[in-house]
Amino acid sequence: MALRIDRIDYQPGSRLDTELADLCYQAIHGRTDQRPITIDLVASRLSASTSQSPTALITIRDEHGLLIGAVALRWPYVPTGTGRLWGPVVHPGHRGHRLGDRLLTAICGLDGEASALPALTTAEIPSAARGAHALFTRARWRRLPSLTLLRGPVPPPGGASPRPSAVWTAQDSTLIHLAPHLGRLYADTYRDHDPRTAADTLRRWSQDRRYQADRLLLAGPVHQPIAAALLYPLASDHSGEPAELLIADILTDQSLTVADQRTACSDLVHAALLHGTYLGSAVARAVLPSHRELCLTVLENAGLKHVDDFTLYTHLR
């Protein structure tokens, strides 16, 4: 079978986004990470910010020109940061031919170990995706601590309690006012991340094609928010795929008492589910580091269930 391999700088807004979305959906169908895959989701994963080099994308097409495999490398947001590997993604009908190995080798270099690249992590890999685990094990990438996937129903209209009074949205403020507060909350939540990444939290989030100000929820006083949650609704044209509300991140002020953190997180989660009700979402989904016990407990108390433990692999320089 004659295959065509292309390496390009990714640019959003082309027909390729649709091809990548379809390929990804077919690759994850039936797995615990199955979800709506939209062109906006693809663009959010692959688009580079103004401070980054263009995302490197490698595609494989069959003799008919159909996309059957892809992998992308999004460069670090800051020089000392960590890049992100998307894929390799291989069409189910073309597995068993080591296309994943070919893609990983192509994106990383001839040795397949990313020796000339920055520090990298993979996307989230479900526990049952044995082929993906074997691929990165062969390439001698190292496992990182797991992420927890939770999923649960969104309350039907009329079944959700009113939004907590302490919760407001980014529509109620300005980017200039919110930016330092979100930077503070991000730095407090992810203390091992680069301070420059934390400081640019709102700019990174707001540049995402899925971002809308009314889907960034905050808790506490407007002049000093104590927690934040970022929401992304996802819906696709795939038959039978329920519309989903992704709770993309939850940030909390770690200087608060545990009780106050729990209250703020609970208020945000309940407001998020109510938002999902208004948007017509059927299910809610969240992926958080497994050490975020407080937020995970709040999500479970709100009706989301622990579905899987995802793995990230890393190659460190």
Which is it for strands 283-289 and 147-153: parallel, antiparallel or unpaired?
antiparallel
* pLDDT value, residue 287: 96
Dihedral of CA atoms 261, 266, 271, 276 in degrees, nearest 10, equals 120
* pLDDT value, residue 79: 75
Checking if the pLDDT of 315 tops 80, the result is yes
Q: In this structure, how many other beta carbons lie within 10 angstroms of the beta carbon of residue 164?
A: 18
Single out the residue of 229, 90, 234, 216 nearest to residue 154, CA to CA. 234
* pLDDT value, residue 101: 94
Contacts of 261 (CB under 8 A, 6+ apart): 227, 252, 253, 254, 294
Residue 219 has phi, psi (to 5 degrees) of -125, 150
**What is residue 175's three-state secondary structure?**
helix
Strand ranges (E), 10-81 = 56-61, 67-74
* pLDDT value, residue 1: 65
Given CA atoms 191, 264, 146, 56 in this order, what sign does their dihedral have? negative
d(CA 74, CA 195): 19
Residue 60 · residue 3 · CB < 8 Å: yes
**What is residue 201's three-state secondary structure?**
helix
Name the percent of the chain lying above pLDDT 90: 72
* pLDDT value, residue 80: 75
Average pLDDT, the chain: 90
Considering all CA atoms of the chain, what is the largest pairwise distance in Å, rounded to the nearest integer?
Answer: 62
State the average pLDDT over residues 209-230: 95
pLDDT in tens, 160-208: 667 788 899 999 988 889 999 999 999 999 998 888 889 989 988 998 8
* pLDDT value, residue 158: 73
d(CA 108, CA 111): 8
For the whole model, what pTM was predicted?
A: 0.89
Given CA atoms 102, 103, 109, 113 in this order, what sign does their dihedral have? negative
Name the range with the highest mean pLDDT among 29-38, 104-113, 151-160, 253-262.
253-262
d(CA 89, CA 27): 7
Single out the residue of 267, 255, 181, 168 nearest to residue 224, CA to CA. 181
* pLDDT value, residue 131: 92
pLDDT in tens, 107-146: 987 444 445 577 889 999 999 999 999 999 999 999 998 9
pLDDT in tens, 58-88: 999 999 999 999 999 999 887 777 889 999 9
Q: Which domains does the chain have, with CATH numbers?
A: 4-143 (3.40.630.30), 150-310 (3.40.630.30)
* pLDDT value, residue 116: 58
